[in-house]
């Protein structure tokens, strides 16, 4: 593959075109892991009838991802730090590919479906915690948030596939065949990753990749000494928690006569556009704080509007704006965290933020559906206030050089 010299301060760093192949391999398996997560959320009613179980067990299939993330996060961070991008992340890749296929083959057996779903959920932290490390290891400074944003887009595409496909198949579709196809594609994506993915490029592409990182254990302890990282933890607790809870319960939040999968699809499509556009602007301007401010504060009125508007297509439009502004904040926030906590491993800061989001999502699942959007709006208001208290990346960089 061709190489390109990238100037960054007095030092020159090299990039390779294979970085895009590497990113696609990570995106493909990350996408399928999210398909498996969300696959039952837009078809709660149909799944209850298919398996003959209560609503609780169908919601649990999605909630298991949030439950599993909490204990698995730190072992996943340690393994990624110790064994690297190919074999550390490879644990999650294998769990997703293998148990995604098993879930599809035995789709009619609810016990096997639950076990397989949990095993795929265990694989999720290995995948989601890897995108900022991938960006710092393979991409130049001006592309890091964009690369993380593309990783986020992959997970969003996975969610939108799971949201929209059942509606496209029409009434009476075969849930078993749908899960089998998801499993086959997951298995193929696992094979492609294991064959083609590489650990790291021959040359460092940016100054963050060019330094020796702190050990994960030391890095974790030191992270909590950074005020802005602690504030960011709270904001992700609110923001990612809200997105996880809304995604999990979307079939129960809105009018039962509406196509909830389509509403979720508009939210996620908005998130895809936002992750591309706003992450790119964030990289170009090397600014993070303003995008976090906008996401937190805009979510307050948008959540209230989603709760009170009774027109389907207006709700879809608001959902698109909600996704555009909120979901795009995730890659910017994760990149910001990696920058202000350097030299701690990216997967450590990434993992802590993600696990707080999972805890937030689980707690919000307890909130009655009728009040969920109002509670979320209140949490975003608190998050918005906190977002004005953080300092941008350049302030942290200047302080580190002093």
In a domain, 4, yes or no: no
Cβ-in-10-Å burial (0-12, 13-18, 19+) of 110 comes to middle
Average pLDDT, the chain: 85
pLDDT of residue 220: 65
pLDDT, one tens digit per residue, over 135-192 is: 878 888 777 777 877 887 888 788 888 888 887 887 778 999 999 999 999 999 999 9
CA distance 184 to 35: 12
Looking at the domain assignment, is residue 172 inside a domain? yes
Tokens read off for 217: 């254990």
Please indicate, yes or no, if residue 3 is contained in any of the structural domains.
Answer: no
Tens of pLDDT, residues 55-99? 889 989 988 988 898 899 888 888 888 888 899 999 999 999 999
Tell me whether residue 6 is in a domain.
no
Residue 2 lies in a domain: no
Which of the four pLDDT bands, split at 50, 70 and 90, describes residue 112?
A: very high
Is 263 or 171 the better-scoring residue by pLDDT? 263
CA distance 230 to 389: 11
Residue showing tokens 């016990």: 111
Which residues form the domain of 275?
A: 15-401
Higher pLDDT, 395 or 315: 315
pTM of the model: 0.73
β partners of residue 15: 4
Q: Looking at the domain assignment, is residue 201 inside a domain? A: yes
Q: What is the pLDDT of residues 114-125, one digit of tens each?
A: 999 999 999 999
- Could you give the number of structural domains in the chain? 1
Question: % helix / strand / coil in the chain, to the nearest 5?
Answer: 80, 5, 20
Whether residue 10 is contained in a domain is answered as no
Q: Provide the pLDDT for residue 152.
A: 76
pLDDT digits (tens, 9 = 90+) for 186-219: 999 999 999 999 988 877 776 655 554 544 455 5
Residue 9 maps to a domain: no
Residue 256: CATH number of its domain: 1.20.1250.20
The token duo for 87 is 């074999």
What would you report as the CA-atom Rg of the chain, rounded to the nearest whole angstrom? 20
């Amino acid at each position: 593959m061709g190489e390109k010299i990238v100037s960054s301060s007095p030092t020159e760093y090299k990039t390779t075109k294979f970085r895009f192949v590497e990113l696609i391999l990570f995106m493909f398996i990350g996408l399928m892991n999210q398909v498996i997560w969300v696959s039952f959320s837009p078809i709660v009613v149909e799944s209850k009838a298919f398996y003959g179980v209560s609503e609780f067990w169908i919601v649990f299939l999605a909630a298991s991802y949030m439950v599993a993330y909490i204990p698995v996060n730190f072992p996943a961070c340690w393994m990624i730090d110790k064994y690297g991008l190919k074999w550390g992340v490879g644990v999650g890749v294998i769990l997703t590919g293998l148990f995604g296929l098993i879930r599809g083959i035995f789709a009619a057996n609810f016990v096997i479906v639950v076990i397989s779903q949990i095993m795929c959920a265990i694989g999720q932290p290995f995948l989601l915690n890897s995108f900022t490390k991938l960006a710092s290891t393979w991409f130049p400074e001006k592309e890091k948030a964009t690369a993380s944003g593309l990783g986020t887009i992959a997970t969003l595409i996975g969610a939108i596939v799971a949201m929209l496909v059942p509606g496209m198949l029409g009434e009476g579709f075969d849930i078993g065949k749908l899960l089998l196809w998801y499993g086959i594609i997951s298995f193929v994506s696992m094979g492609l990753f294991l064959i083609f993915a590489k650990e790291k490029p021959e040359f460092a592409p940016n100054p963050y990749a060019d330094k020796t990182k702190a050990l994960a254990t030391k890095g974790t302890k030191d992270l909590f000494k950074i005020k802005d990282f602690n504030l960011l933890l709270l904001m992700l607790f609110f923001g990612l928690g809200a997105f996880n809870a809304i995604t999990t319960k979307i079939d129960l939040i809105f009018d039962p006569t509406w196509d909830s999968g389509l509403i979720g699809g508009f939210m996620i499509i908005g998130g895809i556009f936002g992750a591309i556009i706003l992450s790119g602007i964030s990289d170009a301007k090397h600014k993070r704080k303003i995008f976090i401010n906008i996401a937190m504060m805009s979510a307050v009125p948008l959540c209230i509007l989603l709760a009170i508007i009774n027109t389907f297509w207006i709700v879809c439009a608001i959902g698109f704006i909600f996704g555009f502004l909120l979901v795009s904040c995730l890659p910017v926030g994760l990149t910001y965290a990696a920058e202000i906590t350097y030299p701690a491993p990216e997967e450590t800061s990434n993992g802590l933020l993600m696990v707080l989001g999972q805890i937030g999502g689980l707690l919000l699942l307890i909130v009655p559906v009728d009040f969920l959007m109002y509670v979320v709006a209140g949490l975003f208001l608190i998050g918005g206030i906190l977002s004005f208290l953080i300092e941008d990346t350049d302030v942290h960089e200047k302080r580190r050089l002093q």
